[in-house]
Amino acid sequence: MRRSADLTRQRILEAAYKLFRRKGFTRVGVDEIATAAIVTKRTLYYHFRSKDALLEAVLASQHKLAFAAFQTFGDKLIGSPEQIVDTFFRELTIWSAKPRWVGSGFTRLAIELADLPGHPARAIARKHKAILEAHLAQILAKVHVSSPRKRAREIWLLAEGAMALILIHDDRRYADAAAEAAKRLVKIKFQRSR
């Protein structure tokens, strides 16, 4: 029986993730999630006490998957600081070219819930972004970029801005512009640390 309940819970999480990702949190109703998961609304509420609790569980689940993917992606971030930056933003360009790309789900949800600073989903998004930024800082430290935590924060800021502007303008050249700015940052800081 437990296995069946676990499978049902997982089906609900997957359906909710797809809907939240495509339409946003506020535009998706519990009825729609239940229908997509092929469960009753009562079953959904058996597994998750509220839509907010479901969102929290979805983001916690997605954080694990996204961080694992970023760690694998981090294996591609090798070479000089400039090469690392080029690869980082080239991958952003490739990701943003996927059909129906909508940017970072964590960022989108945090913005959508901006008026709810205590919402658990915002805390998970904050933790997720901090972990990714710290991982990038470790990569930069390995190639002796000075102040790697600060440079990682600056690069992450450029990446988030590029994602937003790619969405607004449907123009992937914002990733190229962000890469050029980031390369100037790491080059100057790299030279000073030598």
Q: What is the domain partition of the chain in residue ranges?
A: 1-48, 55-193
Taking the model in full, what pTM does it have? 0.83
> What's the CATH architecture for 1-48?
Orthogonal Bundle (1.10)
Query: Could you give the CA distance from residue 138 to residue 143 in angstroms, rounded to a whole number?
Result: 9
Predicted pLDDT of residue 75: 83
Which two three-digit tokens encode residue 151?
């440079």
Predicted pLDDT of residue 63: 84
Walk along the chain (194 residues) and give the pLDDT tens digit of each residue. 577 889 999 999 999 999 998 898 999 999 999 999 999 999 999 999 999 999 999 998 888 888 777 777 778 899 999 999 999 999 999 999 999 898 988 898 889 999 988 888 898 889 999 999 999 999 999 999 999 999 999 999 999 999 999 999 999 999 999 999 999 999 865 545 45
Predicted pLDDT of residue 188: 66
Predicted pLDDT of residue 1: 55
149-156 LR contacts (CB < 8 Å, sep 24+): 151/185, 151/186, 151/189, 154/182, 154/185, 155/85, 155/88, 155/182, 155/185, 155/186, 156/129, 156/132
Identical fold for domains 1-48 and 55-193, yes or no, is no
Which two three-digit tokens encode residue 12?
């609900």
What CATH fold (topology level) applies to the domain 55-193?
A: Tetracycline Repressor; domain 2 (1.10.357)
Which two three-digit tokens encode residue 81?
């600081």
